[in-house]
């Protein structure tokens, strides 16, 4: 297998963190989004949607979409479990990962793509007003998550999961979107410091 990766993009980072948590190191092909390498004929043959990450299997089949790749990896290497260990825990992890994707990760991404000068070529039309709409949405979810994290150690429960990976990547990417989290989000800050200290977070 080999992973088509983009070093500074958030979705490929989700997969890199997931792989690191599993103790896996796959061969990587770096796709430079700044140089529009994802729009090349070579990469378009890998993923016609021209997005990273993409995982090429030994059979030649291509898997795309971050969570789909992570689910495949989890099925092959189930330890440590990052999608839950029983039906209820798996449902909680799925619920929280989707909440984080829709209410936090997506607004941060929209804010970045519609405000950062380097994205003008990639996001057409780039709508500054849409970036400003999404910034308070991301902050509102961070505040909601702060309240939830007063009840438990990690996003979906007492065990680290894919939901924490998605939330960490979104929180870190918020800096590029010019979103600053208030100092009073103490539980959010405690959680972020803990997950950021995991070796996988440095990938």
Tell me what the mean pLDDT of segment 40-48 comes to: 97
Same domain for 109 and 39: no
Of 129, 146, 152, 155, nearest in space to 188 by CA? 146
Same domain for 98 and 192: yes
What is the domain-level CATH number for residue 184?
1.20.1050.10
Q: What is the pLDDT of residue 189?
A: 98
What is the domain-level CATH number for residue 46?
3.40.30.10
Q: How confident is the model at residue 128 (pLDDT cuts 50, 70, 90)?
A: confident
Q: Which of 31-40, 58-67, 70-79 has the lowest mean pLDDT?
A: 31-40
Same domain for 127 and 94: yes
Q: What is the pLDDT of residue 89?
A: 98
End of a domain among 76, 101, 129?
76
Domain assignment present for residue 82? The answer is: no
**pLDDT tens-digit readout, 136-192:** 999 999 999 999 999 999 999 999 999 999 999 999 999 999 999 999 999 999 999
Q: What is the pLDDT of residue 123?
A: 73
**Stated pTM of the model:** 0.95
Q: What is the pLDDT of residue 102?
A: 98
Neighbours of 71 (CB within 10 A): 16
Domain assignment present for residue 105? The answer is: yes
Can you tell me the distance from the alpha carbon of 193 to that of 202, in angstroms, rounded to the nearest whole number? 13
**pLDDT tens-digit readout, 81-127:** 999 999 999 999 999 999 999 999 999 999 998 987 777 777 778 78
**Residue 50: domain span:** 2-76
């Amino acid at each position: 297998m080999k992973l088509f990766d983009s070093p500074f993009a958030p979705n490929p980072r989700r997969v890199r963190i997931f792989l690191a948590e599993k103790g896996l190191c796959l061969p990587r092909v770096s796709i430079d989004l700044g140089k529009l390498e994802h729009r090349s004929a070579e990469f378009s043959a890998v993923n016609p949607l021209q997005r990273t990450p993409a995982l090429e299997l030994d059979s030649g089949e291509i898997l795309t979409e971050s969570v789909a790749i992570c689910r495949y990896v989890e099925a092959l290497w189930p330890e440590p479990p990052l999608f839950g260990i029983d039906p209820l825990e798996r449902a909680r992890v799925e619920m929280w990962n989707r909440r984080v994707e829709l209410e936090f990760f997506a607004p941060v991404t929209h804010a970045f793509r519609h405000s950062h000068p380097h994205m003008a070529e990639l996001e057409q039309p780039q709508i500054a007003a849409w970036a400003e709409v999404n910034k308070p949405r991301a902050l509102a979810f961070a505040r909601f998550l702060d309240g939830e994290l007063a009840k438990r150690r990690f996003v979906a429960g007492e065990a680290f999961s894919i939901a924490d990976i998605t939330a960490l990547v979104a929180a870190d990417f918020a800096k590029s979107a010019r979103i600053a989290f208030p100092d009073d989000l103490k539980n959010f800050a405690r959680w972020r410091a803990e997950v950021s200290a995991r070796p996988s977070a440095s990938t």
